[in-house]
Amino acid sequence: MRIQVVGVSGYSVEGLLSAISRLYRREPLPPHFYLVYDLIYEQENVDVVIELAQDGEIGSYVLVWKYGRGGVVHVWGDKGPELLQHVSPDITKPHIVELYSVREEFIERVSSFLLSAGFKEVEVKRFHDMICTEEVFKPSANEHITVRLNPSYAEIFAEFVRRRGEEITLEEAREKLTKRAYYGVLVGDKLASAGAVCAKLPEMGLICDVYTGEEFRGRGYATAVTSAATRKVVSSGATAFLCVEEGNELAIRIYKKLGYSILRTRPWIVAKP
């Protein structure tokens, strides 16, 4: 983990952690959720550049989460695009840059940085952040058909991931099933659908990686696995949240059926090597 602080000549680690805590308590939604979660659980995979004001508060930051086959970058605050100058993304791997401003000037500055860094192509997409609480959660009647996927399911999970066109080793499959709470629907000896609680803090939990194989669609499997993952989060009193691309009406209908509502829509920039 590398944390770089700009904007002040001196600071204490205790003061910085307090500033992060205040920021998260004010708004536990992403990106502050990711900032706190990654600093606790993903230290070996993250770099952070923070702009700290003279009053000790955080004005902007860039959070870079690196995984084996790519990276995810969160850019928050008015000076976020400037802070990108302090990071060195691996331009040989795809990156997703999540923005928390819809200003076109903001989007253009980040896109220009990525191209100047050496990425071959950037594409701007828009994603909805959707949330669900225990009070509005409407579980699927088919939730009982799901199973919790522990590491013993690594082989069929790896085969499932490869069928969706992604590379994964057996070791990577075991690691995912160990770190994340995956739920799946089995049809014979195949995994038909899966979804996960990918990160969890007491206040919030991230639902992600929901996918159903093409030959198994239209049977309610995605609704069932999302329901199981959502229950895992909201049953503890936390808020479940997920991201879905604007225009993916089928997925949006599934999530709304379970009680999710759209909180906001924001840009993501997909950078290709």
- Please tell me the distance from the alpha carbon of residue 67 to that of residue 44, in angstroms, as a whole number: 10
Domains in the chain, ordered, with CATH? 2-119 (3.40.630), 143-264 (3.40.630.30)
- Mean pLDDT of the 84-96 span: 96
- CB-count exposure of residue 257 (10 Å: 0-12, 13-18, 19+): middle
CA atoms within 13 Å, Cβ hemisphere of 11: 23
pLDDT tens per residue across span 239-259 = 999 999 999 999 999 999 999
Residue 1 has pLDDT above 90, yes or no: no
pLDDT tens per residue across span 189-208 = 999 999 999 999 999 999 99
CA distances from residue 77 to 8, 252, 271 in whole angstroms, order as listed: 17, 28, 20
pLDDT of residue 68: 85
CA angle 234, 198, 16 (to 5 degrees): 90
Structure tokens at 114: 């990525």
pLDDT tier for residue 8 given thresholds of 50, 70 and 90: confident
Q: At 10, is the secondary structure helix, strand, or coil?
A: coil
- Mean pLDDT of the 62-76 span: 95
pLDDT tens per residue across span 127-183 = 999 999 999 999 999 999 999 999 999 999 999 999 999 999 999 999 999 999 999
- Please tell me the distance from the alpha carbon of residue 273 to that of residue 197, in angstroms, as a whole number: 29
pLDDT tens per residue across span 21-52 = 999 999 999 999 999 999 999 999 999 999 99
Q: At 81, is the secondary structure helix, strand, or coil?
A: helix
Q: Model's pTM, two decimal places?
A: 0.95
